[in-house]
Amino acid sequence: MMSKFEDEEEQELGKLAIRLENAAVLPMVLKSTLKLNIIDTIFASSGSSEGAFPSYIEIASRLPAKNHDTLILPDRMLQLLAGYDILKCSVRTRENGVVERLYGARPICKFLVKNEDGGEIQRISRPKIVVDVGGGIDVTLIMITSMYSHIKSNNFDLPHVLAHAPSFSEYGRDMFASVTKGGAIFMKV
């Protein structure tokens, strides 16, 4: 028989396992809502404190999908983002008794939406060569070159890391000794 302490420890380990299993969900949902311009739509509607919060039906109606069975998916995605305090969520009851959720932008959204002047990523279109220091398996470089095909990209990482990376120009050296030249050099921390 387990002691109370062992039982609590077992429960905590189970909770940790669930959190680890679900760790990838938030980034995937956030990426999807950004690609579908859902965050932009909500921010445009509720960016100011006086703004109206759109319902998930209003948001889903602006999406390219025409399958009505998929209308529940944006609501679930938005509920998740509200759970992480990326969005505000409120509930209202319509005249016919139907309860619907309304979503509004939280301050963090101003860093997620496209800027009116073309967005922060637009600055990256000027350099001809981008160097990702400690770039790992090229995830960021793949995203940049898919948006800006004219940019040459270099991954600068250790040789054993680059052995598993795709086919960008790669430099297998110690980033603390020297860094190759490029029009823009970035490093994720």
pLDDT, tens digit (0-9, with 9 covering 90-100), for 72-119: 788 889 999 999 899 999 999 989 998 889 999 999 988 888 765 444
Number of continuous H segments (helices) and E segments (strands) in the chain:
7, 6
Looking at the structure, tell me whether residues 67 and 147 fall in a common domain.
Answer: no
Token pair recorded at residue 9: 């420890």
Give the end of a domain, one of 56, 91, 111: 111
Report the amino acid identity of residue 5: F
Count of structural domains within the chain: 2
2 inside domain: no
Measure the CA–CA gap between 34 and 53, rounded to whole angstroms: 18
Looking at the structure, tell me whether residues 11 and 99 fall in a common domain.
Answer: yes
* CA pseudo-torsion sign 67, 68, 69, 72: positive
Looking at the structure, tell me whether residues 56 and 138 fall in a common domain.
Answer: no
Measure the CA–CA gap between 134 and 112, rounded to whole angstroms: 24
* Residues 145, 155 contacting (CB under 8 angstroms): no
Task: Residue 180: give the domain boundaries.
Answer: 120-186
pLDDT, tens digit (0-9, with 9 covering 90-100), for 3-59: 676 788 889 898 888 888 888 898 899 998 888 888 988 988 875 444 578 888 888
Q: In the chain, which residue ranges form alpha helices assigned H by DSSP?
A: 4-21, 25-35, 38-46, 56-61, 72-83, 139-147, 159-162
Measure the CA–CA gap between 32 and 8, rounded to whole angstroms: 37
Looking at the structure, tell me whether residues 13 and 104 fall in a common domain.
Answer: yes
pTM to 2 decimals? 0.55
* Residues 56, 33 contacting (CB under 8 angstroms): no
pLDDT, tens digit (0-9, with 9 covering 90-100), for 113-158: 876 544 444 445 566 777 777 666 667 777 777 777 777 777 777 7
Instruction: Give the count of beta carbons closer than 10 Å to the beta carbon of residue 25.
Output: 11
Looking at the structure, tell me whether residues 41 and 98 fall in a common domain.
Answer: yes
Mean per-residue pLDDT of the chain: 76
Report the amino acid identity of residue 8: E
Give the end of a domain, one of 48, 79, 111: 111
